[in-house]
Amino acid sequence: MSHLRNKTKKGVRLVRTILELVRIIAIFGLFGALSWIIIGNMYTINNAIESYSWLGALAILVLLFVLYRNKLQFSGWYKGKGRKKLPVEVSNTLIFISVLLMISPFVLGPLFH
């Protein structure tokens, strides 16, 4: 009976992990697409800036990572070990890098085109 209980627990953990992975993909896909719809038009001012718009997309992904690690991971299906917020310094650094990435097409486009 104990052997069956352990298999059931492992199965539940596996299903929760798979559901959480699907949730992460959906969050990044949906929020990433919505964010890009909102800010993507800023980079279509001219071709020089538009060629570096991928840096803005990378900035969105970094921001979504910070949001997931600090808020969204605690409301999902996965209940395993290692669920903790990013340290404040790391969060602030990643947010700062993300802002720089969002601004960089406006600097790099005219500079290198």
Q: Taking phi first (over 0 means left), then psi (-120 to 50 degrees means alpha), and beta for anything else, what does residue 85 get?
A: beta
Task: Give the separation between CA 56 and CA 41, rounded to whole angstroms.
Answer: 11
For the chain, the domain total comes to: 1
Across 73-92, average pLDDT = 85
- For the stretch 31-51, pLDDT in tens is 999 999 988 889 988 888 999
Which segment, 3-7, 26-30, 72-76, is predicted with the most confidence on average?
A: 26-30
- For the stretch 13-32, pLDDT in tens is 888 889 989 999 999 999 99
Q: What is the span of the domain harbouring residue 93?
A: 2-112
Q: CB 98: neighbour CB atoms within 10 A? A: 20
pTM: 0.85
Dihedral angle over CA of 78, 81, 83, 84, nearest 10: 170
Q: CB 42: neighbour CB atoms within 10 A? A: 13
Q: Which residue did the predictor score with more confidence, 35 or 78?
A: 35
